[in-house]
Amino acid sequence: MESLTLRTLHRIIAVSPELKENLVASKGVAPERICVIPNGVEVEEFRSGFKEESRQALEISCGARVVGMAARLHAQKGADLLIRAAPIIRSRVENLRIVLIGDGPERPALVRLARNQRVSDIVTFTGYRADARRLLCAFDIVVLPSRHEGLPFTLLEGMAGGKPVVAANVGGIPSVVVDGVTGLLFPSEDVAGLAAALIKLLDDPAVRQRMGEAGRERVKIHFSEQAMLERTLSVYGSAGDELSLSDGRRRDRT
């Protein structure tokens, strides 16, 4: 049904080149009908201040080293991989805290997993938070170990806030994260690779700062909300012009 529906559309907007390639290869969509428009955010909404206040809200000490993700607690997002990596990271990093902002069907299983991995004392489940953007300020690193993705807003928001990111090398994520420049990528499902990337950044505050600054600049240049809106309006405008022209030709023939 999805493939049939996609073929009836005049224009399709994909949020990343990888998603466009998938639509062409797996759904049979003609590539010329697909426009790539990345998601965008307003950088100034994600100022890197409020770190102390955000940590107080989460009951986390200022000296802690905090790894966090903001996402639906769904198998797609891979929060279980982060919890499985926690014992490895904890053995190498002192005063570690892991924060999961969001809610979803996997939450009960993730709570049990944290207990089984003996990391319940360092893992915080906040549930849904309307102030999630502000709480991102508490993180030293934003992590997203997804199993599949389009182009996730949470990475753009973290980078806009000056945070380095660690993310799975899937979907549109490589379009956002420049490996070794704005963060680190690891192979999907690779718990050891995830742990190694986080340990590397947690051990080097200078690299974290440099990557955070590079990430913020990258979002400002390539993933602004204004650019996303302008390009989206342009697609609707061009599609409307084509429809008007096509309708005029039909009237002429009748």
Per-domain residue ranges of the chain: 1-37, 48-221
pLDDT for residue 3: 78
pLDDT for residue 28: 86
- Listed in sequence order, the residues at least 6 apart from 23 whose beta carbon sits closer than 8 Å to its beta carbon are 6, 12, 14, 29, 34
- Give CA separation, 229 vs 37, 38, 133, in Å: 9, 10, 21
- Long-range contacts formed by 4-12: CB under 8 A, 24+ apart: 9/33, 10/239, 10/242, 10/243, 11/35, 11/235, 11/236, 11/238, 11/239
Question: pLDDT digit string (tens) for 31-40?
Answer: 999 999 999 9
Q: How confident is the model at residue 1 (pLDDT cuts 50, 70, 90)?
A: confident
CB 79 within 8 A of CB 100: yes
pLDDT for residue 97: 98
Q: How confident is the model at residue 254 (pLDDT cuts 50, 70, 90)?
A: very low
What DSSP element (H or E) covers 228? helix 225-253
Residue 7 structure tokens: 């073929």
Report strand pairing: 65-70 vs 165-168: unpaired
pLDDT over 50 (residue 134): yes
CATH number of 48-221, picked from 3.40.50.2000, 3.90.1150.10, 1.10.357.10, 2.60.120.10: 3.40.50.2000
CB 109 within 8 A of CB 142: no
CB 28 within 8 A of CB 3: yes
Q: How confident is the model at residue 45 (pLDDT cuts 50, 70, 90)?
A: confident
